[in-house]
Amino acid sequence: MTHILRIDASARRAGSVSRDLTDQIITQMGAATVTTRDLATGIPLLEEAWIGANFTPADQRTPEQAATLALSDTLVAEIKAADTLVIGVPIYNFGVPAALKAWVDQVARAGVTFQYSETGPKGLLEGKRAVLVIASGGTESGSDIDFATNYMRHVLGFIGITAIDVVTADRLMVDADAAMKTAQDQIGALAA
């Protein structure tokens, strides 16, 4: 059975290209289970209490520290339960939306989703697939001014997810028809 974790990072619910394309991908994949995490509802930023709780060994955390990490634990559990992540990534001001960066901060945890070794960091969430749905008004995906696509590839690889497909609907304000045709072609080429 396929379990997809859908992550929507667009602040727009209606008229969002990344959400619409994500819908299409999930329909095409025909997953048995889809868990949705809508980041537009808000993800807390890291603060001092979170850092302190995260770096306290789990068996020594106070009830307050455990409560501070509860959302992070839930977000990590969602990734662990999924076979595939489908992440809608609109490019805002050349990078990822702040809510998506906050999600990354909540899930990139030493000893939980990655660990350090003599040879460097090693991701602990191997054997999963990710599909990034990149949408932008003017930024060309993969260009020198696209700080979102490679960032997301790197972050996912850092936590062990290296099988990554990218669907792009970029430069929508320049040529929407061409951008959407490219995205449709890429969706059609995705193996379920």
Q: So what's the pLDDT on residue 1?
A: 60
Confirm whether residue 34 is marked as ligand binding: no
Q: Each residue of 65-98: pLDDT tens digit?
A: 999 999 999 999 999 999 999 999 999 999 999 9
- To the question of whether residue 10 is assigned a binding role by annotation, the answer is yes
Q: What is the pLDDT of residue 84?
A: 97
Q: What is the DSSP string of 64-117?
A: HHHHHTHHHHHHHHHHHH-SEEEEEEE-BTTB--HHHHHHHHHH--BTTTEEEE
pLDDT tens digits, one per residue of 102-147: 999 999 999 999 999 999 999 999 999 999 999 999 999 999 999 9
Contacts (Cβ under 8 Å, ≥6 apart) of 56: 65
Residue 94: its pLDDT value, please? 97
Contact 103, 75 (CB under 8 A): yes
Pairing mode of beta strands 3-8, 33-38: parallel
Residue 131, annotated ligand binder?
A: no
According to the model, what pLDDT value does residue 31 have? 85
- Compute the mean pLDDT over every residue in the chain, rounded to the nearest whole number: 96
The yes-or-no verdict on residue 192 having pLDDT over 60 is no
pLDDT at 145: 97
Confirm whether residue 143 is marked as ligand binding: no
Residue 6 CA to residue 87 CA, distance in Å, equals 6
Q: Does the structural domain 3-189 have CATH classification 1.20.1250.20?
A: no
DSSP annotation string for 107-166: H--BTTTEEEETTEEEES--S-EEEEEEE-SSPPTTSTT--SHHHHHHHHHHTT--EEEE
